[in-house]
Amino acid sequence: MNEVARRVRALLCVSMIAPLAVAGAQKAKSIPRLTEAQQIASAVLALPVQFRADASVLGYKSGSKTLVPLREGKGSFTCLATQPDEPLHLACYHNSLEPFMARGRQLRASGVKDDKVDTTRFAEVMSGKLAMPKQPATLYQLFGGAYDPATNAVTGARQLFVIYISGATSATTGLPDKPAGPGEPWIMFPGTPKAHIMLTPKM
């Protein structure tokens, strides 16, 4: 499972909208294996239109579940295609987050599990070995729902937007550190290297 997919599952466990979201995820059907062209076309749908054409895309070669580059872009975002034979999950993050995201994938591939991934990355950020963005950096996601390759359209998916502000807290942002109500922003993992503002429209 890729980095952002794990983060969505973690979010659903702690969010006040978890029962609704999890119920929807359980009903979501697996997406058939997509061609590389279909993976590229669908992965960028998580982004606002203005960023799609120039985004880099990571996806899966035939018969593999290991993320590899499918398209090198000149834009500001990297997008992850949905995993083969899994429910739809598309994610695009600002390139300034690539060291953090790539390190998570590397650690999991080496056998590091669960909380130890973040423990390791946090220590590396604090030591200066791993860089986090100095400016806010956005992550866009679509999960659940269905994808039609013929029209390159996603229907019935939920949206999740995340704005990373490393080290931010409720005091520095004026945001609560727990979800206050459906659709209201809040800060998750406050005070840590991966502190981020959660935005959950239409959920």
- Domain range summary for the chain, segments of one domain joined by +: 3-157
Strand ranges in the chain using DSSP code E only, listed in sequence order:
56-59, 68-71, 77-80, 89-94, 137-143, 146-148, 153-155, 158-164, 186-188, 196-199
First to last CA, the chain: 23
Return the pLDDT at 21: 38
Decide if pLDDT at 15 tops 80. no
Comparing 6-15, 136-145, 193-202, the range with the smallest average pLDDT is 6-15
DSSP 29: P
Q: In the prediction, which pLDDT does 180 show?
A: 83
Q: Are 56 and 79 in contact (CB under 8 A)?
A: yes
Residue percentage of the chain with pLDDT more than 90: 72
Query: In this predicted structure, what is the pLDDT of residue 63?
Result: 78
Chain segment 21-50, per-residue pLDDT in tens: 333 444 567 888 899 999 999 999 999 999
- What pLDDT score was predicted for residue 27? 54
Task: Kindly state the tokens that stand for 174.
Answer: 């004026």
